[in-house]
Structure 1
Amino acid sequence: MNKIVEKLETWKDIFIKNIPNIAIALVVLVIAYFASRAMNSIVNKTIGKRIRQKSVRDLVSRVASAITILVGLYLAMTVLKFDDTLKTIVSAAGVSGIVIGLALQGTLSNTISGVVLSFRKNLNIGNWVETNGYAGEVIDINLNYFVIREADNNMVVLPNKTILENPFKNYSLTTKMRISIECGVEYGADLKKVEKLTTETIRKNFNQDEIGKKVEFYFTEFGDSSINFLCRFWVDSENALEKLKAKSNAIMEIKQAFDNEGINIPFPMRTLEFVPNNKLNLSQVKEKQDSKKEEYLENA
């Protein structure tokens, strides 16, 4: 009992001696706590203008808040002169971090990729993109996955890592898209009239002067049943759906213009030959085959 009492007396003396340090450490921890809350709010508001994903904003703000708490804890332990204990904790945390990192390598890779994608200026929610064989509107960039809504309203969920490691096409980065239309006209058509009529129809329905572009028209080949041409023009569009609508309207207008001027768009034709009297004499065919066979054997 005497030894226990002596030990308690020693601890009491140490505690009384370190009361100022303990008070300072508690003040540091309180300041760190309120500073972390303030840091959380400030970071959330600061990056909120650039990142629309709530999950990513929360992650970044929480990381900043945790760093503030850790700095305060480090200062408090330094004041209390727990340097050896602090070194032990840091060493253990380092080893544990390596083990956890190896175990969650795929998850952490997707999480980090999600944060990186959220800060990229050339990729945002609402953009129309094409990547990894899928095309559609970006609905969400989460911490682990990337969501695309295709034109048929199907949702495609892709890991963030595949988006970051593979190239993608962003249709929303430009407000102009070029449309190409291939068609053919009959051989008897006036080719100069076809070119003039096509370019005027496009200019009339798609104002190229406002866009600052010109309509391009080229005859490309002599086809089996038509002379084919290529017409290219520009439209104001930010996604593939608007491009499809503009191309559909252009095809309808060109077809209507050709019909009004009597210009035909030919299609492949097949000629069928019928046997006279609609009856095939099989015996005559067999006799011809036998005679050709005998002639071949004699020559051989």
Structure 2
Amino acid sequence: MNDKITNSFQDITDKLWGWLSGLIENLPNIGIAILVLVIAYFLSKFISKTVKKIAGKYVSQESITKLIARAVAVVVVLGGLFLALGVLNLGKALSAILAGAGISGLVIGLAMQGTLSNTFSGIVLSFRKNIRIGDWVETNGFTGEIMDINLSNFVLKEPDNKLVLIPNKTILENPLKNYSLTPKMRIIIECGVGYEMDLEKVEKITKETIAKTFDTVNSPDEVEFFYTEFGGSSVNFICRYWVEATRGKEKLHLKSVGMKAIRKAFNEADINIPFPIRTLQFDNKLSLQNNSGSQEHE
């Protein structure tokens, strides 16, 4: 029994010393393999930037140039990995990896359906001409500027400077509103005037003011003006006009400009923009008299 235990320990010791000897013998190869991987990593970055610049001269869509540059970088890194395995004399392991790529690829594909779906969706989005980096879009309840389209996520920067990562698959499966495809946006201003005002005069002043304020409006006739309702304290209307804008911030700014211009014109023309007023009436004299009479009787 003791001999068996001694032999087992001896076998374990021999194995450990064999591994240590093999490690010491292969230290130069390991160092070269690590060096090859490091060179491949930095070379992939350099080649990626170079390819992106060259592709940018022929392809105007930035998402496509980024996709090409990333693909080239992956190829370079994989090439460095295979060279490193060759330096370590792992040719048999390399052959086994390539031989099992088909079966393992099927298994991995079934296990990563969502990831692969996002990858292919990212490729499709990169080649779409109506979705470009820098466009101002609205999709899936988020609004902002497209910062990047990679192989997994659609990156938006919202007006408050927060980044939103949306899976590419979700973008393809849901509607997307792109404000940058057309050079114009429609501004809608809602307002109200007092019941005592001349409604024809209000409409005329509003249209003329908008036409004078914005170069994109050639005449007052291009301004759309509609009274919408008799409100609790005002006659309400909407005013609609077109401006040159492709971003939400520009739209808000131009709407603000229009509102200030209308307010100023109404003040000069003595047109009242009323605000809600609540009147409290205290005229229940009878109950007060009854209360005072009951107190005197007591």
TM-score by length of 2: 0.66
| C-alpha distance in 2 between matches for 1:264 and 1:231 | 17
Larger radius of gyration: 1
Q: Which runs of 5+ in 2 are unaligned?
A: 1-43, 78-94
Which residue does the alignment assign to 1:132?
140
Which residue number corresponds to residue 156 of structure 1? 164
TM-aligned CA distance change 1:61 to 1:265, over 3 Å: same
Q: 1:57 aligns with which of 52, 68, 79?
A: 68
Q: Using a 3 Å threshold, how does the CA distance of structure 1 residues 125 and 272 change in structure 2: closer, same or farther?
A: same
User: How far did 1:64 drift?
Assistant: 8.4
Q: Deviations over 1:78-98 (max 9, x none)?
A: xxxxxxxx9x99985433321
Deviations 1:210-268 (A, max 9, x none): 69981111122222221111111000001111001111111111011001110001122
Note if contact 2:187-2:240 (Cα within 8 Å) is conserved in structure 1: yes
CA offset digits 1:45-82 (Å, max 9, x no partner): 4477245246522344468899xxxxxxxxxxxxxxxx
Amino acid at match of 1:186: G
Determine if contact 1:211/1:236 at 8 Å carries over to the other structure. no
What per-residue deviation string (whole Å, max 9, x for no partner) do you get for residues 25-45 of structure 1?
xxxxxxxxxxxx9xx988984
Find the residue that maps to 1:157 and give its secondary structure: strand
User: Among the aligned pairs, what percent are the same residue?
Assistant: 52
Mapped contact 1:211–1:235 kept (Cα < 8 A): no
Give, as a single letter, the amino acid of the residue that structure 2 aligns with 1:256: K
- Write out aligned runs for 1:80-91 (5 A): none
Q: What per-residue deviation string (whole Å, max 9, x for no partner) do you get for residues 91-146 of structure 1?
A: 85433321121122222111111111111111111111111101011111122111
Matched length? 230
Residue 214 of structure 2 is matched in structure 1 by 206
Verify the 8 A CA contact 1:138 1:149 in the aligned structure 2: yes
State how far apart, in whole Å, the 1-side matches of 2:220 and 2:152 are: 42
Write the letter of the residue equivalent to 2:67. V
Q: Aligned in 2, Cα 1:201/1:44: closer, same or farther, shift over 3 Å?
A: closer
Query: Is contact 2:133–2:147 with CA below 8 Å preserved after alignment?
Result: yes
Match of 1:178 among 178, 186, 208: 186
In structure 1, runs of 5+ residues without a counterpart are: 1-36, 67-85, 287-300
Tell whether the 8 Å contact from 1:176 to 1:235 is kept in structure 2 after alignment. Answer: yes
Do the aligned partners of 2:144 and 2:158 also contact (CA within 8 Å) in 1? yes
Question: 2:112 is matched by which residue type in structure 1?
Answer: L
SS in structure 2 opposite 1:173? coil
Preserved CA contact (<8 Å) 1:44 1:61:
no
Instruction: Give the 5 Å matches for 1:1-300.
Output: 45-46=54-55, 49-53=59-63, 56-61=67-72, 92-209=100-217, 214-274=222-282
1:195 positional shift:
0.8
User: What amino acid maps onto 2:265 in structure 1?
Assistant: A
Q: Is the 8 A contact 1:139 1:147 kept in 2?
A: yes
Q: CA deviation at 1:189?
A: 0.8
User: Cα distance 1:232–1:51, how it changes in 2: closer, same or farther (>3 A)?
Assistant: closer
Q: Is the 8 A contact 2:137 2:146 kept in 1?
A: yes
For 2:266 and 2:250, how far apart are their aligned partners in 1?
25
What is the TM-score with the length of structure 1 in the denominator?
0.66
Q: 1:257 to 1:43 in 2, by over 3 A?
A: closer
Give, as a single letter, the amino acid of the residue that structure 2 aligns with 1:245. Answer: H
Quote the Cα distance in structure 2 between the aligned partners of 1:187 and 1:43.
64
Distance in 1 between residues matched to 2:61 and 2:199, nearest whole Å: 54
Q: Is the 8 A contact 1:43 1:61 kept in 2?
A: no
Runs of 4+ in 1 over 6 A off after TM superposition: 40-44, 62-66, 88-91
